């Protein structure tokens, strides 16, 4: 029989215990504005969303954030680097579900996981000057971290979900929406259109009325055994967004997942191919999402977990990441 094991901590109480300083609240808002300016075309800079597929160990997060901070200091005049801080992971079957539930080597404990995720996110912002992006997997849990984020993702498995579309329409920062695992670009386009319109939804016994989010946009991840970073798919996406009268039509290319068929080492090749073939779509494509970590490839959860290697999708390691960022930077 299903039973109640605890109540969610109230948002106000959580924020009072783990809060950003006024200075860093302003910096989070500035990061949101920079991203909005890129998506709207006001800024010629480009976006690089980077980090492994899931946040795992606190120590590893800080070590990688230190590397990203160094990259930002070198390349931020042309690139807006955003750190993926994915606190929850969608699972087809039972497995570790992300740090909102627990660290990979701990027993699930959502009550403590929410507090721990917020504490880590604040440290990433204040100590490493990171702009953070998360996946809108559990809106009820994400609402306890929204004030810390500069970016949000509606993932492939959620892009057709009405509730996710409604919540995205009320967020005060950019949201990217992926094509679903069934490939259908119209579903993605309809989701973007829905989130760019006002909505009403219920979250935790409260009814919200949203304005709209004019900064929701597309990301192509491939599907099945078929990549969709080719110029013909970029053109198809562009035409669909224009036909649907999407505000600020924009596209990010996912260099991993089904676009690479999980062959993580070809992410640089994909990036180069996209840049070579953009032609008339250079302003439409806002650039890339890349999966990178301290060591390359991935590992299974076992009794001997390496804290520096991805537990989900395979990643390129630091040297390859630096090479990729240099390529991006020098092409601008």
User: How many other CB atoms are found less than 10 A from the CB of residue 19?
Assistant: 14
Q: Flag whether 248 is in a domain.
A: yes
Q: Which residues of the chain have pLDDT under 50?
A: none
Tens-place pLDDT, residues 74-89: 999 999 999 999 998 7
Structural domain contains residue 4: no
Tell me, what's the pLDDT at 230? 92
User: What pLDDT, on the 0 to 100 scale, is given for residue 8?
Assistant: 84
Give buried/exposed letters for 107-143 (b at 16+ CB in 10 A, else e): eebbeebbbbbbebbbbbbeebbbbbbbbbbbbebbb
Domain membership of residue 87 (yes or no) is yes
Q: Is residue 1 part of a domain?
A: no
Confidence at residue 107, expressed as pLDDT on a 0 to 100 scale? 87
Give the C-alpha separation, 11 to 78, whole Å. 36
Quote the CA–CA distance of 211 and 108 in Å, as a whole number: 36
Q: Domain with 268 in it: what CATH number?
A: 3.20.20.70
- Residue 259 lies in domain: 11-331
pLDDT digits (tens, 9 = 90+) for 161-183: 999 999 999 999 999 999 988 77
Looking at residue 36, its pLDDT comes to 98
The answer to whether residue 36 is domain-embedded is: yes
Render pLDDT for 247-258 as a digit per residue (tens, 0 to 9): 999 999 999 988
- Provide the domain count of the chain: 1
Burial of 273 (0-12, 13-18, 19+ CB in 10 A): middle
| 134 within some domain | yes
Task: Report yes or no on 3 lying in a domain.
Answer: no
pLDDT tens by residue, 253-299: 999 988 998 899 999 999 999 999 888 999 999 999 999 999 998 98
pLDDT at 103: 87
Would you state the pLDDT for residue 91? 66
303 CB-near residues (< 8 Å, 6+ apart): none
How high is the pLDDT of residue 94? 66
The answer as to whether 84 is a domain residue is: yes
For residue 77, the model assigns a pLDDT of: 97
Residue 93's pLDDT is what? 59
């Amino acid at each position: 029989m299903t039973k109640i094991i605890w109540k969610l901590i109230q948002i106000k109480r959580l924020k009072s215990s783990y809060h950003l300083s006024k200075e860093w609240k302003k910096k989070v808002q500035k990061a949101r504005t920079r991203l909005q300016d890129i998506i709207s075309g006001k800024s010629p800079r480009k976006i690089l969303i980077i980090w492994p597929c899931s946040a795992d160990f606190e120590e590893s997060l800080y070590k990688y954030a230190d590397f990203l901070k160094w990259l930002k200091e070198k390349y931020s005049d042309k690139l807006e680097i955003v750190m993926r801080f994915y606190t929850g992971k969608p699972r087809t079957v039972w497995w570790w579900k992300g740090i909102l539930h627990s660290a990979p080597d701990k027993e699930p404990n959502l009550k403590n996981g929410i507090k721990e995720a917020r504490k880590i996110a604040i440290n990433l912002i204040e100590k490493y000057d990171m702009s953070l992006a998360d996946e809108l997997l559990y809106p009820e849990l994400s609402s306890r971290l929204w004030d810390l984020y500069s970016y949000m993702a509606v993932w492939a498995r959620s892009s057709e979900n009405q509730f996710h579309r409604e919540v995205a329409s009320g967020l005060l920062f950019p949201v990217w929406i992926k094509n679903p695992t069934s490939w259908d670009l119209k579903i993605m386009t309809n989701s973007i259109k829905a989130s760019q319109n006002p909505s009403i939804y219920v979250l935790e016994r409260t009814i919200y009325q949203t304005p709209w989010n004019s900064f929701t946009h597309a990301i192509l991840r491939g599907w099945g055994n078929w990549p969709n970073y080719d110029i013909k798919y970029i053109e198809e996406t562009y035409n669909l967004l224009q036909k649907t009268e999407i505000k600020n039509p924009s596209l990010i290319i996912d260099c991993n997942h089904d676009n690479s068929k999980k062959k993580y080492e070809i992410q640089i090749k994909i990036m180069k191919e996209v840049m070579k073939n953009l032609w008339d779509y250079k302003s439409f494509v806002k650039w890339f999402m890349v999966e990178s970590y301290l060591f390359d490839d991935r590992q299974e959860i076992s009794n001997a977990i390496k804290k520096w290697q991805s537990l989900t999708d395979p990643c390129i390691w630091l040297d390859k990441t630096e090479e990729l960022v240099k390529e991006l930077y020098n092409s601008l």
